Each structure stands twice: as structure tokens, then as C-alpha cells.
Amino acid sequence: MQESAGERLDRFLAEQLPELSRSQLKRLIDDGQVRIAGAAVKAGLKLRGGEVIGILLPEPEPVDALPEAIPLAILYEDPHLIVIDKPAHMVVHPAPGHRGGTLVNALLHHCRDLSGIGGVLRPGIVHRLDKDTSGVMVATKDDRTHQQLARQFKAHTIQRRYRALVHGLVQNQQGTIDRPIGRHPAQRLKMSSSTRCGRRAVTHWQVLRRYDRDRLTLLDLALETGRTHQIRVHLAEMNLPVVGDPLYGSAGLARGLADAQLRKRVEQLDRQFLHAWRLGFIHPQSGEALEFRAPLPPELQGVLDYLEKKYTPLDADGADPSAIPPP
């Protein structure tokens, strides 16, 4: 790429290969596994632009994912796939620091025929939710179903809807964020739009409620693409960080809430206020259009109930005349 001219090789590769850590890339370069024109190169090499870079990646070391009897909230299951309501704090698949207690461990116990589907590291997994995001997920039980469902995700025909409570008042009623997302150039744990080699990411949003005095907005969001941390990055870069998000927000935002009861509820969340409430797709085997919904978990619903009680006057019958449509 000509736009890479003058950039250090290691920084360019870090943007191109976000799945690899800087230490992994350094080891590959030091071991001579990164080559230009057949010759080993150094990490600090300045690119001219237009080079063809060859990288020899070692075979991944399998993570021994063992079945674990972890309860699952199953929304649907048949011989080909399973749909679950993932709780917050559950990692989707094993990784360094999370060898057990993951969704994969739970699925391997529940679905004995998952092994190898989608690879040994992520059996049955065709998409992910962040550790502290809850909501609807689908996993597959056979190769054909996995491949066909993966094609739907790649074609962006999967219907994915989320609810998010954000700090800040959104002025427009609806809109679209179309900004690429890649690895943050300086902070490895974060994703960002400030990267040269991000992938296109599109998020559609609509305002459900504004809580003016507390400067909070409840949003309904639809994903057109599915990049890592997509909603959290897009909203944070609009200066609308998701409530409770420690990576793209700030604990100081919760402490700044004037309402003591609301502040306590938000500080006790221990997760971001982001929930995947709806998932729709075509069943790869039957061709049937399926849609699944998961209500907000109690800790999120409790915050909304408090805000609704605080902001919404009741009519003569004690009913809320403008209730938020439930997920």
C-alpha cells in the first residue's frame, strides 16, 4: 500500500494483524519469519510502499477446552444449532487468562458433538459478544451449518439489535455511524477509528429516551457490520460512552451523576450497559426465518426502571403513557 510509505514495519503489521500481540510480531520478525523479497527484515524497517510482505505464521497451539457444567439460558436448540442468552462476565471462548468458565466450555458440556466445528480454539462459534455484554448468541453443531451461517454474517444479512444507555444527550433522533475500526495505534487493548488500516464498520442508532437532567440517552442500535468493540468504539468517539464501560468510558462519569441513588445503581453495575436483545437469521438447513429476543437482565432493567419512575409522569390509571417498547 502506497499510504504505508515511511511507516515502521512493526507498526504496519500491528495494524494489519490485530489478532497478534506486539510481542508475537516481534518474535516473528526476530525469528526471520517476516520477509520482503525473500530476505529477513528488522522491526524498525521503514516501508517504501508497495512491498510484498511474506509472513510465516506458526501453527496455533490448541487450547484444551474442556467441557464444564455451566448453566446456559437456552432460547432455542435443534440438531444443527443452539441459541443462548449469554450473561455478562462470561468470555465466549478460551484465551490466555480465561482457560475455563467460557461459553465454549459450557457448550462442549451441553452439546457433545461440537468438537472441531469452527476450529479447536472456537468450536461452534460464528460470532462473539464482549465479555461484559449480555444477550442473544447463536452457536453451530455441524460444519455445514457453521459455514452457511458464517456466510450470512459475512454478507451482513444477520439482524442484530442492541440496547445501550450512554452518557450524553443525543440531539438527533436517529443516525448512522460509518467509520472504519482497527487496533488502536497506541493502546493494544482498545480498538479505534484512528487507524490507517481499519475495516469498514457501520452502526445505525435511534433514540428511545433522553434523561435530560442526568445527561443520559437510551439508544436502540442495529449492526450492519460486526467489528470488535464496534458499538462501544463508535459511541465513545461521538463523546457518548456506554454507561459502565471501563475501557472506552470513565468511572468519573458515574461519580459525576448528581442523583445519589442513580449514581449508586450505575456504580454497582460492574459491566457496560450494552445488551444484544435481538438476533435474526435464516436457518441454514430449513431456510426458515428465525428471530430470537432476550429481555434486559435485571441489573440493567433496574437502572431503567429507576430512570423511568423519576422522569415519566403516570396517567390517571397509574400507567405509563409513553413506555419504552420492551426488547
Q: Would you say the CATH fold of 66-155 matches that of 2-55?
A: no
pLDDT value of position 230 = 96
- Say what the pTM is: 0.79
- Which is higher by pLDDT, 294 or 250? 294
pLDDT value of position 1 = 47
Locate 162 and state its grid cell: 442492541
pLDDT value of position 99 = 77
Q: Which of 121, 48, 55, 51 is nearest to 91 (CA)?
A: 121
pLDDT tens per residue, range 39-52: 888 888 888 888 88
Interatomic CA distance for residues 173 and 136, integer angstroms: 26
In three-state secondary structure terms, 274 is strand
pLDDT value of position 20 = 64
- Which is higher by pLDDT, 65 or 63? 65
Question: Do strands 34-36 and 53-55 pair parallel, antiparallel, or not at all (unpaired)?
Answer: antiparallel
The highest-level CATH class for domain 66-155 is alpha beta
Cα radius of gyration (the chain): 22
- Which is higher by pLDDT, 254 or 186? 254
Domain 156-327 CATH superfamily: Pseudouridine synthase (3.30.2350.10)
pLDDT tens per residue, range 270-294: 999 999 999 999 999 999 999 999 9
Report in angstroms the alpha-carbon separations of 225 from 40, 127, 147, 234.
36, 11, 18, 12
Question: Which entry of 10, 30, 78, 130 is annotated as an active-site residue?
Answer: 130
Phi, psi (degrees; rounded to nearest 5) at 283? -60, 125
Active site residue 270: no
Overall average pLDDT of the 261-273 stretch: 95
301-307: long-range pairs with CB below 8 Å, 24+: 302/265, 303/165, 303/243, 303/262, 303/265, 303/266, 303/269, 303/273, 304/165, 304/218, 306/261, 306/262, 306/265, 307/209, 307/211, 307/214, 307/216, 307/262
Domain spans, the chain? 2-55, 66-155, 156-327
Interatomic CA distance for residues 105 and 65, integer angstroms: 6
Locate 242 and state its grid cell: 456506554
pLDDT tens per residue, range 73-128: 999 999 999 999 999 999 998 876 777 899 999 999 998 777 566 666 678 899 99
The highest-confidence range among 20-29, 63-72, 231-240, 314-323, by mean pLDDT, is: 231-240
Locate 83 and state its grid cell: 441459541
pLDDT value of position 21 = 62
Topology (CATH level 3) of domain 2-55: 3.10.290
pLDDT value of position 314 = 52
- What is the pLDDT of the chain when averaged over all its residues? 87
Phi, psi (degrees; rounded to nearest 5) at 83? -115, 130
pLDDT tens per residue, range 137-151: 999 998 889 889 989
**Is residue 315 pLDDT above 70, yes or no?**
no
CA–centroid distance for 153 within its chain: 14
Percent of the chain with pLDDT over 70: 89
Interatomic CA distance for residues 257 and 17, integer angstroms: 39
57: buried, middle or exposed (CB in 10 Å: 19+, 13-18, 0-12)?
Answer: exposed
